[in-house]
């Protein structure tokens, strides 16, 4: 029996959920006006400048520096903080690879820390445990738009003197104790890649409340130039991480859409939190009471196959898709990813850290070091931010489809075994 067997009769949901990205004539007009202006990049256009100002205002931050994408944003931020060879930077083991790979790209070593089992964000106690004399920084990730524990991490920073960068790629508009994320660390980075909650296909932005760091970032983004100096004066080794006027024009419109979309997603998330968690075998994240607004890049939940007659997570997700619920599998944990396991970090394929003192890193390659992220890697699925813009009826359909699969889990699990 194939996964579509139960769905084949009457899928729970048809037609499909809202698709992402959401756009209309406003994005078309914005791009068209830039094209007609002839100012597509650095020069006389003002889209990037306006987008920076508008994002800074939205975020309650003093400065915003637009960049090519969220990965480059992290690289620029680490460079501005003078983090490089010989330094260690603590990152969560459960995140997209860029949080760690950008540490490697500046020549430093990422030290993986396990995450909290209820919020899925970096565990502050694990951070404290990982600190040693080589630790220079940390990058908490506001996973799925739920802010990491900013109180405990700020405490760690004030005790240890670490520099820190918030990776807010999942968390546009999220708030911790009524303050927007991005205003806690030295610098914070956002991604505007295609699946993010505001997007121009690609894009990124850095925010900070530190004027000197803002100037440093601007210089690193723009080939080492300095504001007010000549076009061919380059004051530091840097590269070109500039956003185009076309991207900025789209992002200005997307930013205007964000507040309403955030409100709609948060309302659905509260409903899912109450309802989804009632289904045996499904566990949702526990929202920290200090979180006023979640960014909700996705809505993650855990699936325990023991409650579904041993049906694998992969088959469960395929069955959901067949029911018209386009659920997605989430990331593997970083310690499970090939490039991290083999430590082939240098562009030549040479292994990083063989010669350097990376004692902690050597111990960090087994599932036992990361019990929580190892479990998330096996059990997590997520509901996309586009789906979270559905109505109450759409949310009910998700629950209905899961319940339906649970009722048929025995048949599906047998079919899965026969297919193997
Ligand atoms: C947590 C996290 N950090 C960094 C990035 C990198 O952003 P980008 O894809 O824009 O380079 C992503 C993107 O998926 C991400 O999810």
**Which pLDDT score is estimated for 50?**
98
pLDDT single digits (tens) 283-318: 999 999 999 999 999 999 999 999 999 999 999 999
Lowest mean pLDDT segment, chosen from 197-211, 235-249, 298-312, 356-370: 356-370
Question: Residue 233 C-alpha to ligand 1 middle, in angstroms?
Answer: 32
**Which pLDDT score is estimated for 359?**
42
pLDDT at 401 over 80: yes
Question: Residue 197 C-alpha to ligand 1 middle, in angstroms?
Answer: 12
Question: Residue 11 C-alpha to ligand 1 middle, in angstroms?
Answer: 33
Please give the average per-residue pLDDT across 26-33, as a whole number.
98
169 Cβ closer than 6 Å to some ligand 1 atom: yes
pLDDT single digits (tens) 313-325: 999 999 999 999 9
Residue 8 — pLDDT band, cuts 50, 70, 90? low
pLDDT at 348 over 60: no
384 Cβ closer than 6 Å to some ligand 1 atom: no
CA atoms within 13 A on the CB side of 89: 33
pLDDT single digits (tens) 45-88: 999 999 999 999 999 999 999 999 999 999 999 999 999 998 99
pLDDT at 330 over 50: yes
Beta-carbon contacts of 60 under 8 Å, excluding residues fewer than 6 positions away, are: 179, 180, 183
Question: Residue 70 C-alpha to ligand 1 middle, in angstroms?
Answer: 5
Could you identify the atom of ligand 1 that is nearest to the CA of residue 102? 4
pLDDT at 210 over 70: yes
**Which pLDDT score is estimated for 12?**
65
Tokens (6 digits) for 255:
């930013």
pLDDT at 373 over 80: yes
pLDDT single digits (tens) 245-269: 999 999 999 999 999 999 999 999 9
* Distance (Å, whole) CA 247 – CA 260: 21
Active-site residue numbers? Answer: 96, 167, 170, 193, 196, 225, 232, 242
**Which pLDDT score is estimated for 3?**
52
Question: Residue 180 C-alpha to ligand 1 middle, in angstroms?
Answer: 19
Question: Residue 95 C-alpha to ligand 1 middle, in angstroms?
Answer: 9
**Which pLDDT score is estimated for 365?**
60
* Distance (Å, whole) CA 37 – CA 31: 10
pLDDT at 347 over 80: no
Beta-carbon contacts of 101 under 8 Å, excluding residues fewer than 6 positions away, are: 71, 110, 339
**Which pLDDT score is estimated for 278?**
94
385 Cβ closer than 6 Å to some ligand 1 atom: no
pLDDT at 111 over 80: yes
Please give the average per-residue pLDDT across 216-237, as a whole number.
96
DSSP letter for each residue of 205-249? EEEES-HHHHHHHHHHHBTT--TTS-TT---SS--B-PPPHHHHH
197 Cβ closer than 6 Å to some ligand 1 atom: no
In this structure, the chain runs to a length of 420
Pocket test for ligand 1, best of 193, 196, 385 (most atoms within 8 A of CB): 193
In CATH terms, 25-255 corresponds, of 3.40.640.10, 3.40.50.150, 3.40.50.720, 1.10.3720.10, to: 3.40.640.10
91 Cβ closer than 6 Å to some ligand 1 atom: no
pLDDT single digits (tens) 139-192: 999 999 999 999 999 999 999 999 999 999 999 999 999 999 999 999 999 999
Which residue puts its alpha carbon closest to atom 8 of ligand 1? 70
More confident call, 356 vs 345: 345
Could you identify the atom of ligand 1 that is nearest to the CA of residue 143? 1
3 Cβ closer than 6 Å to some ligand 1 atom: no
374 Cβ closer than 6 Å to some ligand 1 atom: no
Pocket test for ligand 1, best of 145, 188, 191 (most atoms within 8 A of CB): 191
Could you identify the atom of ligand 1 that is nearest to the CA of residue 193? 10
334 Cβ closer than 6 Å to some ligand 1 atom: no
Say if residue 10 is exposed, middle or buried (CB neighbours under 10 Å; 0-12, 13-18, 19+): exposed
Question: CA end-to-end span of the chain, whole Å?
Answer: 12
Question: Residue 196 C-alpha to ligand 1 middle, in angstroms?
Answer: 9
Residue 366 — pLDDT band, cuts 50, 70, 90? confident
- What does the mean pLDDT of the chain come to? 92
* Distance (Å, whole) CA 192 – CA 329: 21
* Distance (Å, whole) CA 47 – CA 272: 38
H-run or E-run covering 332: none
pLDDT single digits (tens) 37-55: 999 998 889 999 999 999 9
Domain map of the chain by residue range?
Answer: 25-255
**Which pLDDT score is estimated for 363?**
53
Q: Check: CB of residue 307 under 8 Å from CB of residue 385.
A: no
**Which pLDDT score is estimated for 82?**
98
Q: Is the pTM of this model over 0.85?
A: yes
């Amino acid at each position: 029996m194939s996964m579509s067997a139960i769905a084949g009769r009457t899928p729970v949901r048809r037609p499909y959920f809202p698709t992402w990205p959401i756009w209309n004539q406003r994005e078309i007009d914005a791009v068209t006006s830039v094209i007609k202006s002839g100012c597509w990049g650095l020069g006389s256009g003002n889209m990037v400048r306006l987008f920076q100002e508008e994002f800074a205002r939205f975020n309650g931050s003093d400065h915003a520096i637009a960049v090519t994408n969220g990965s480059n944003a992290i690289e620029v931020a680490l460079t501005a903080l003078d983090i490089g060879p010989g330094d260690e930077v603590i990152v969560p083991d459960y995140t997209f690879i860029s949080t760690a790979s950008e540490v490697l790209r500046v020549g430093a070593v990422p030290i993986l820390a396990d995450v909290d089992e209820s919020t899925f964000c970096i565990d502050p106690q694990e951070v404290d445990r990982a600190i040693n004399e080589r630790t220079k920084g940390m990058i908490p990730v506001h996973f799925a738009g739920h802010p990491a524990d900013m109180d405990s991490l700020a405490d760690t920073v004030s005790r240890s003197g670490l520099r820190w960068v918030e990776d807010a790629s999942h968390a546009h508009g999220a708030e911790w104790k009524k303050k927007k994320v991005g205003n806690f660390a030295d610098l914070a980075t956002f991604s505007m890649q295609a699946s993010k909650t505001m997007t121009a296909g690609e894009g990124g932005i850095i925010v900070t409340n530190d004027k000197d760091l803002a100037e440093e970032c601007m210089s690193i983004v723009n080939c080492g130039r300095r504001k007010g100096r000549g076009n061919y004066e380059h004051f530091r080794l840097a590269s070109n991480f500039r956003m185009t006027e076309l991207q900025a024009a789209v992002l200005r419109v997307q930013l205007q859409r964000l507040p309403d979309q955030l409100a709609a997603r948060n309302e659905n998330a509260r409903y899912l939190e109450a309802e989804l968690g009632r289904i045996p075998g499904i566990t949702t994240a526990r929202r920290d009471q200090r979180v006023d607004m979640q960014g909700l890049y996705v809505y993650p939940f855990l699936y325990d196959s023991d409650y579904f007659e041993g049906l694998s997570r992969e088959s469960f997700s395929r069955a959901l898709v067949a029911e018209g619920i386009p659920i997605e599998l989430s990331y593997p944990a970083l310690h499970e990813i090939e490039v991290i396991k083999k430590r082939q970090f240098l562009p030549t394929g040479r292994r990083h850290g063989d010669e350097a003192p990376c004692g902690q890193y050597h111990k960090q390659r087994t599932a036992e070091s990361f019990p929580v992220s190892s479990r998330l890697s096996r059990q997590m699925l997520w509901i996309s931010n586009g789906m979270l813009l559905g109505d109450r009826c759409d949310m009910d359909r998700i629950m209905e489809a899961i319940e339906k699969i649970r009722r048929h889990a025995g048949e599906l699990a047998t079919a899965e075994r026969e297919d193997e």
